Structure 1
Amino acid sequence: MNAHTDLIDRYFDAWNETDGARRRELIAATWASDADYRDPLMAGSGHDGIDAMIRAVQERFAGHTFRRSTDVDGFGNRLRFSWELLTPAGDALVKGSDFGTVDAHGRLQTVTGFLDQVPAGA
């Protein structure tokens, strides 16, 4: 497992963590303090903004989980990977691809997300 893969696996641990205190610990260990996340539907800046964004997704999709669906591809401080949002039954509801940059301390500086598959009418 490379450093980028370990980082992105922690990223998904944070997305799936429902305990607020533990999620904030994971965010602090994974994201730079001035990090920025953007996708077509939402955005979050800094640890508080990213935590609020994840909490909102968890409220909207209670019981759903995210998982990495590809290897993490990266070079230098840049990486990319794809993911799925799974229903409680294990079906992929949403699929996407994210691109990110890593700071000098090995934490995520930016993530830009793209939605590859969304449910009809969403």
Structure 2
Amino acid sequence: MNAHTDLIDRYFAAWNETDTASRRKLIATTWSTDAAYLDPLLSGDGHDGIDAMIRAVHERFPRHTFRRTTDVDGFANRLRFSWELASPDGTPVVKGSDFGVVDPSGRLQAVTGFLDAMPGAA
């Protein structure tokens, strides 16, 4: 497993963590303090903003889980990967691809997400 894969696996662990204290610890070890996340539906800045964004997803999609669907491709401080959000029975409901920038300490500085498939989208 390369460093980028380990980082992104922690990223998904944070997205899937429902316990606030555990999620905050994962965010702190995965994201830089001034990190930013942006996709067409969500955004979050810093640890508090990213935590609030993840909490909102849990409220909208209870018991759903994110999972990586591709290897993590990366070079230098850039990476990309694809994912899906699955319902409790395992059915994918949203699919996307994310692009990230890693800071010098090995934490995420920025992630930009693109939605590849979602309900009602043609």
Give the TM-score of the pair, scaled to structure 2: 0.98
| Ranges in structure 2 where 5+ consecutive residues have no aligned partner | none
**Bigger shift: residues 29-38 or 112-121:** 112-121
**1:26-45 → structure 2 map (5 Å cutoff):** 26-45=26-45
Aligned length: 122
For 1:85, the equivalent position in structure 2 comes to 85
> Identity percentage over the alignment?
74
Query: Which of structure 1's runs of 4+ aligned residues deviate more than 3 A?
Result: none
TM-aligned CA deviation for residue 120 of structure 1:
1.1
What amino acid does structure 2 have at the position aligned with 1:71? D
| Cα RMSD for the two superposed structures | 1.1
3-state DSSP of counterpart to 1:57: helix
Give the Cα separation in 2 of the matches to 1:42 and 1:19.
21
Question: Displacement, 1:71?
Answer: 0.1
Q: Structure 1: any 5+ residue segments left out of the alignment?
A: none
For residues 16 and 112 of structure 1, the distance between their equivalents in structure 2, rounded to whole angstroms, comes to 18
Q: Which residue of 2 aligns with 1:57?
A: 57
Q: Distance in 1 between matches of 2:36 and 2:63?
A: 25
Structural mapping, 1:66-85, within 5 Å: 66-85=66-85
